[in-house]
Chain A
Amino acid sequence: MRIHFRSALVPLVLILSAGVNAQVPAPKRDLSGVWGLLPAREVSEDDKQSPGGEVPPMTAWAKARFDLEKPGYGKRAAPGGNDPILQCDPMGFPRILYFPAPFEFAQISNRVLQMFERDNVVRQIWTDGRALPNDPDPLWYGYSTGKWVDDTTFVVESTGYDDRTWLGAAGFPHSETMRLEERYQRVDRDTINFTLKIDDPQAYTKPWIALPRVLKLRPRAEIRQGYCVASEENAFTKRIREPGALKTGAAPKN
């Protein structure tokens, strides 16, 4: 009798565990929800808040800009520096995507909205079939259009990015004519496979293929109002950042 009981129990346990582990299929043409990037790799020196992958050779134009940047991360890192976000200047895209906070997709009739915690940024991705403008005025978060190429893959193309933003905390530059192609492939309810191609001939001699990343649905997370407030950031700089950046043995300023 016991043998019979076990015989019945084993398949039941297998069925139940399979049910727990089963991936719920992705809904069709829907990215709605709060998403967070999974860590993809051991973070290297130069890919903090950046697309990762192999950085292509820079043009002379980009190299000249790069040489002026004084980042807080990477091989050239030093305390202090001129990272724009130290003054609460806009982080820009795609850097904000790699910042350690979840973001939310919301879909309305003619746009997909990508809502970030940092500065409460709402990036509008037009889905009404319009084309990208030929010579757009620069925007901190660019001009973006998107379309579904199948029931689970949303492709975003964008350009017109203000060139004062960095492609990551290590200071890699970009031009205003940079074009991005993002692919968000929702492979199941909880998972998006994300790829990004950066095409910026003014700055890089060939396209920059970002490290593929995985986004996970974060149903228990909420996006907060994460405004970078310059007065608060300046107070922080005076009290902690500047003393921490002093050379060893130097007297504190306060």
Chain B
Amino acid sequence: MPEPNEGRNPGTGGRVATRHCIGRIGVISIKATGNTTRMKKLTRPLLLLALLLCAGALFAHHGNSAYDETARVPIKGTVTEFIWTNPHSQIYLDVKDSSGKVVNWGVETNSPGILTRAGWTRRSLKAGDQITIILCPAKNGQPVAYAGSGDPGTKVIFADGRELLFADKTAGP
């Protein structure tokens, strides 16, 4: 069983605790306005509730990560590339914001070794797939993010409801 959080790009910092937070509330859309990312459709009370639900994780989070690992944000879009490289595989997808503008997101995920033990192959995703990824977005608002075994709760969901998870399926006797 991989140790939580240790398979991630070390240039992006660490995490102590994880929880499902915003992802529980529902799919949001992301609007890239200039250099900032704004969440639409989530009302302020709901956002406040999400933050309260995350409070424990926020207090436990001491790292200076590039990713907000206390959040689990659903991003819905169309896969443009799935790059199966070591030590960081990557998922790129076009995400349409509420104004219709398309932003290409880059999502860091695990190495092929870790993904293989989680049941993935290089063909698990392909350009054109309609997916939602539950991910940890970059703190700086850029359309980059992390989803992988380092942050439980992150996952890929296909349009038909099928899911790709990151947990190691070979753990145990």
Q: A39-B3, A73-B10 are in contact. Are A240 and B144 (CB under 8 A)?
A: yes
The answer to the question of B99 belonging to the interface, with a C-beta cut-off of 8 Å to chain A, is no
Q: Tell me what chain A mostly uses at the interface: helix, strand, loop, or mixed.
A: loop
Whether A43 contacts B4 by the Cβ 8 Å rule is: yes
- Chain A residues contacting B4 (CB-CB under 8 Å) are 39, 43
- Chain A residues contacting B65 (CB-CB under 8 Å) are 77, 79
- Chain B residues contacting A100 (CB-CB under 8 Å) are 2-3, 6-7, 114, 149-150
In angstroms, Cα B15 to Cα A73, docked, is 8
Whether A45 contacts B62 by the Cβ 8 Å rule is: yes
The answer to the question of B121 belonging to the interface, with a C-beta cut-off of 8 Å to chain A, is no
- Interface members, chain A 56-99 (any B CB < 8 Å): 71-75, 77-81, 83, 85-86, 98-99
- Interface members, chain B 125-172 (any A CB < 8 Å): 138-144, 149-150, 168, 170-172
Residue in contact with A249 in the complex, picked from B35, B64, B144, B173, CB distance below 8 Å: B35
Q: A218-B170, A221-B117, A226-B112 are in contact. Are A241 and B9 (CB under 8 A)?
A: yes
In angstroms, Cα B168 to Cα A84, docked, is 27
Residue in contact with A228 in the complex, picked from B2, B87, B108, B139, CB distance below 8 Å: B87
Whether B140 contacts A248 by the Cβ 8 Å rule is: yes
The answer to the question of A250 belonging to the interface, with a C-beta cut-off of 8 Å to chain B, is yes
Whether B16 contacts A45 by the Cβ 8 Å rule is: yes
The answer to the question of A252 belonging to the interface, with a C-beta cut-off of 8 Å to chain B, is yes
- Chain B residues contacting A244 (CB-CB under 8 Å) are 12, 66-67, 108, 138, 140, 142, 144
Q: A72-B14, A77-B64, A241-B9 are in contact. Are A233 and B35 (CB under 8 A)?
A: no
Distance in Å: Cβ of B83 to nearest Cβ of chain A? 8
Whether A229 contacts B140 by the Cβ 8 Å rule is: no
Residue in contact with B35 in the complex, picked from A38, A235, A236, A250, CB distance below 8 Å: A250
The answer to the question of B98 belonging to the interface, with a C-beta cut-off of 8 Å to chain A, is no
- Interface members, chain B 71-104 (any A CB < 8 Å): 85-88, 90
Q: A219-B173, A243-B138, A252-B142 are in contact. Are A226 and B11 (CB under 8 A)?
A: no
- Chain A residues contacting B67 (CB-CB under 8 Å) are 244
- B169's closest neighbor in chain A, by CB? A220
The answer to the question of A48 belonging to the interface, with a C-beta cut-off of 8 Å to chain B, is yes
In angstroms, Cα B140 to Cα A79, docked, is 11
The answer to the question of A139 belonging to the interface, with a C-beta cut-off of 8 Å to chain B, is no
The answer to the question of A150 belonging to the interface, with a C-beta cut-off of 8 Å to chain B, is no
- Chain B residues contacting A243 (CB-CB under 8 Å) are 106, 138, 142-144
Between A and B, 5 residue pairs with Cβ closer than 8 Å are A45-B63, A79-B65, A83-B11, A99-B7, A243-B138
For the complex of A and B, 6 pairs with smallest distance between CB atoms = A100-B2, A72-B10, A73-B14, A224-B113, A79-B66, A244-B66
Interface residues of B (CB under 8 A from A): 1-7, 9-14, 16-17, 35-36, 62-67, 85-88, 90, 106-108, 111-114, 116-117, 138-144, 149-150, 168, 170-173
Apart from the given pairs A72-B11, A228-B86, A240-B90, 6 other A-B contacts in the complex at a CB distance below 8 Å: A39-B4, A42-B17, A48-B5, A169-B14, A236-B108, A239-B90
